[in-house]
Structure 1
Amino acid sequence: MTAASCARGRCVQGAGHGVTPAGAASSASCDDSQRRRSPCGAGYDVAVTSSLPDAGRIAAVLPSATLWRSVEVIETTGSTNADLAARARAGAGEGAVLVSKEQTAGRGRLDRQWVSPPGTSISMSLLLTPQQEFPQWGWLSLLAGMAVASAVGELAGGGAPVSLKWPNDVLIRGRKVCGILSERIEHPDGARAVVGIGINVDLAADQLPVPTATSLALEGLPTDQSRIVAGVLTHFERHYRSWQLRGNLRAEYEARCASIGAELTVILDGDRRVSGTGRGVDEWGRLQVTTATGIETYPVGDVVHATLA
């Protein structure tokens, strides 16, 4: 790990090449023009230009008064969530951001594997100390999804439909481009939360984990990873501060969530399945489904999958 330099009130760390001051582009940023084939049936190639994440470039875009006290970019790790969780247990406070260019042992919900080949995905984790009561922490994954959707929507300029699928997926044209995992970390001074975000950026069609996934490159969207990370951080902070004040962001979330108003199959532990229509989310971020017997409410921890019909 490199020593940290503080710029504009926060610490900025480069990855394996010394300290990068905020506002300066690192020589480690790698521009790589590649061609990707769309999986969406069009069969066309799109030329994309990608730049790997750089801590200085990310920090330079963030406002001077920001929640994010340190932004670190590393070359590779098993899991950014595991790394940041270890720091949280050691006493690290709110506002740390860890981004890796490669993740070899990442986890999604229910211990699903999340692995990103070098340079093809954004693997990032955020360290938070929410002041809300723990039952409200279910909102953290939803807030992260809203932040990614806002950042990707800006990249698309309104040209690609970006939506959310409860509880932790971001979709472009109905295909998954991002997954999220939030974890509670115990500490004597108070519990912390680590929010992990994985975004498919430069994955080719034959690299996608499932046929229903996509990547920013395949959608013809900009793939500047520093810009994307900065956008996610900016939007997450805005949503997070609103949530801390208001307790929930139901209207904002429901407006972007494809699960609301859709026919759903909710798969619970033991492979029990419930069919119904997505009604909304409650004040704790739990999914409400109108079924044949009435309105059922499901917390994230009880749901294996909530599929759109």
Structure 2
Amino acid sequence: MASVYSDLNRPPLNEHRLQRALMVPGVGFGGHSIAALRVLPEVDSTNTALLEAADDGAPHGSVVVAESQTAGKGRLGRSWVAPPRSGLFLSILLRPEVSAARWGWLPLLAGVAARSAVARAAELEVSLKWPNDLILAEPTDGESGSASSPAASSSGLSSDAIPDSGYGVGLKLGGILAEQGGTASQPCVVIGIGINVTLRADELPAPHATSLLLAGAKVTDRDTLLRALLRSFGSWYVDWADSDGDAERCGLAAAYQGACATLDRQVRAELPGGGRVFGHATGIDPEGRLLIRTADGASTPIGAGDVVHLR
């Protein structure tokens, strides 16, 4: 087996150093602390590993980080593939004491936290695609219409040359997957987060993908990024939980809507059962669902599915 130091640009994470920095005994997942943290050299999926740990009684606020995933999970059954130590691959176990009707905000919360961490640590502006992909921010109306988008610049392609992947002219930097588990008496949610950090152009899994390295991030050190991400997530989670899951009251709704590139544009929602909804994305409802105004003027809430940004 090759040494973990065979690629000096991708050093391994230090579990003990991260534990000392992020764990505060007896506090649990509150403020800037977590209850337990493991860094695994290889795992099939961090979500699967943490769901199994939850069944064995793992505490709220447990975190599993993997250097490599052999069966990483994406949304709608897709796989998440990346070279070892080329990104952040982690899952967070939550046992919210909040009405389950408001748990739909948790993946959106993770998106806001990840965006904030990337902005703070890597000095890179990204936006969110509902329900929670991280994409390179697209030019606003106030920017030059003749300039290539940041996504196009990072890939070396013009905007028109980027395949129509459902991201408009944006490129995918990362994704989030929430899965429920546990028992009826002790339910839980596991939030999986994956961010491409040092993938090179020849390692990208798809033409619409990118990485922090390719996007020109100021920092690509995974330790720094992971600390920023978990601290940001913890801070947002505490505010959300303290407001009893009220996304408006804790500021989460405003933060998400301000960062969401899906809103105020034409979209196509591909639903799990095979149906499709076309229309204008107008907002996010109190349960975290995307609202689409269709041609007949009706407002349709979308709670699950794949949303395509139409050009």
SS in 1 for 2:237: helix
TM-score (norm 1): 0.79
2:49 matches 1:83: yes
Structural RMSD (CA)? 2.1
* Corresponding position of 1:95: 61
CA contact (8 A) 1:250 1:282 kept: no
Q: Tell me the amino acid that sits aligned with residue 70 of structure 2.
A: T
Q: Tell me the amino acid that sits aligned with residue 95 of structure 2.
A: T
* Corresponding position of 2:13: 53
- How far apart are 1:294 and its partner, in Å? 2.2
* Distance across 1 between alignment mates of 2:122 and 2:71: 30
2:220 matches 1:223: yes
SS in 1 for 2:255: helix
TM-score (norm 2): 0.79
* Distance across 1 between alignment mates of 2:272 and 2:54: 30
Q: Tell me the amino acid that sits aligned with residue 62 of structure 1.
A: L
CA contact (8 A) 2:279 2:294 kept: yes
* Corresponding position of 2:196: 200
Q: Tell me the amino acid that sits aligned with residue 52 of structure 1.
A: P
* Corresponding position of 1:40: none
- How far apart are 1:238 and its partner, in Å? 1.1
Aligned length: 264
Gaps of 5+ in 1: 1-27, 34-48
* Corresponding position of 1:166: 130
Q: Deviations over 1:25-58 (max 9, x none)?
A: xxx985955xxxxxxxxxxxxxxx5443222333
Give percent identity, aligned residues only.
39
SS in 2 for 1:289: strand
* Corresponding position of 2:265: 262
Structure with the bigger percentage of strand: 1
Which of 276, 279, 283 is equivalent to 1:280? 283
CA contact (8 A) 2:118 2:125 kept: no
Gaps of 5+ in 2: 138-169
* Corresponding position of 1:129: 95
* Corresponding position of 1:184: 180
Q: Tell me the amino acid that sits aligned with residue 286 of structure 2.
A: E
Q: Deviations over 1:7-26 (max 9, x none)?
A: xxxxxxxxxxxxxxxxxxxx
- How far apart are 1:161 and its partner, in Å? 2.7
- How far apart are 1:196 and its partner, in Å? 0.6
* Distance across 2 between alignment mates of 1:121 and 1:29: 14
* Distance across 2 between alignment mates of 1:29 and 1:108: 25
Q: Deviations over 1:153-201 (max 9, x none)?
A: 11343xx331111002011242111111111112254101111111111
Which of 88, 101, 106 is equivalent to 1:140? 106
CA contact (8 A) 2:199 2:211 kept: yes
* Corresponding position of 1:110: 76
CA contact (8 A) 1:180 1:197 kept: yes
* Distance across 1 between alignment mates of 2:113 and 2:48: 22
SS in 2 for 1:178: strand
User: Greater RCO between the two (CA within 8 Å, min separation 6)?
Assistant: 2
